[in-house]
């Protein structure tokens, strides 16, 4: 028996926007075990040049990611959607253990099963070094406040 993760496909524009925000909120929690539950047990991922198959590998990947990408803050935005697929663009800011700051830009293509779990995720990401004073994502770690500007409002 699979757990449902509303909103469920088929997506409307409104439910796709909600799904994107829920994904953003999950990733901003930086909790690999919690985030991995949004994916099917046999999920297939490509993240940059790394492949993950199954929830366990996703959790391992996210653990490594957030141990390396410190003070991670993410904003996602809907690009387009169909019945069971969503495309997003996103940016996140983080620094390494030497206090070098980056803004990473990317696009993801998502495919969902009927229970609203993501079964396929393909991500392309580019990292751009920034200086700390150029950061745009200023909120306490965790969920982005509702009144914080999104990507389009920030000109990204």
The answer on pLDDT for 1 being more than 80 is no
Q: Is residue 142 one of the residues assigned to a domain?
A: no
pLDDT of res. 2: 62
Q: State the CATH number of the domain containing residue 47.
A: 3.10.450.50
pLDDT single digits (tens) 43-98: 999 999 999 999 999 999 999 999 999 999 999 999 999 999 999 999 999 999 99
Q: Is residue 144 one of the residues assigned to a domain?
A: no
Q: Is residue 1 one of the residues assigned to a domain?
A: no
The answer on pLDDT for 143 being more than 60 is yes
In the beta sheet, which residues pair with residue 104? 92, 127
Q: How much is the average pLDDT of 120-139? A: 98
Q: Count up the domains in the chain and report the number.
A: 1
Q: Is residue 109 one of the residues assigned to a domain?
A: yes
CA–CA separation, 43 and 112 (whole Å): 10
Cis-peptide into 114, omega within 30 deg: no
Q: Is residue 32 one of the residues assigned to a domain?
A: yes
pLDDT of res. 88: 98
Label each residue of the chain as H, E or C. CCCCCCCCCCCCHHHHHHHHHHHHHHHHHCCHHHHHCCEEEEEEEEECCEEEECHHHHHHHHHHHHHHCEEEEEEEEEEEECCCEEEEEEEEEEECCCCCEEEEEEEEEEEECCCCCEEEEEEEEEEEEECHHHCCCCCCCCCCCCCCCCCCCCCC
pLDDT of res. 121: 98
Q: Is residue 68 one of the residues assigned to a domain?
A: yes
For the question of whether the overall pTM of this predicted structure is more than 0.85, the answer is yes
Q: Is residue 153 one of the residues assigned to a domain?
A: no
Domain enclosing residue 109, as ranges: 13-134
pLDDT of res. 85: 98
Q: Is residue 4 one of the residues assigned to a domain?
A: no
């Amino acid at each position: 028996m699979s757990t449902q993760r509303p909103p469920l496909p088929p997506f409307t524009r409104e439910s796709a926007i909600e799904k994107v925000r829920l994904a953003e909120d999950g990733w901003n929690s930086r909790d690999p075990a919690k985030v991995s539950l949004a994916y099917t047990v046999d999920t297939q991922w490509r993240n940059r040049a790394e492949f993950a198959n199954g929830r366990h590998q996703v959790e391992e990947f996210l653990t490594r990611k957030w141990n390396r990408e410190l003070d991670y803050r993410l904003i996602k935005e809907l690009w387009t959607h169909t019945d069971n697929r969503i495309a997003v663009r996103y940016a996140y800011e983080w620094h390494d253990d030497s206090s070098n700051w980056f803004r990473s830009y990317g696009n993801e293509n998502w495919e969902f099963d009927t229970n609203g779990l993501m079964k396929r995720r393909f991500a392309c990401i580019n990292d751009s070094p920034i200086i700390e004073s150029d950061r745009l994502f200023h909120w306490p770690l965790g969920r982005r406040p509702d009144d914080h500007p999104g990507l389009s409002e920030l000109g990204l």
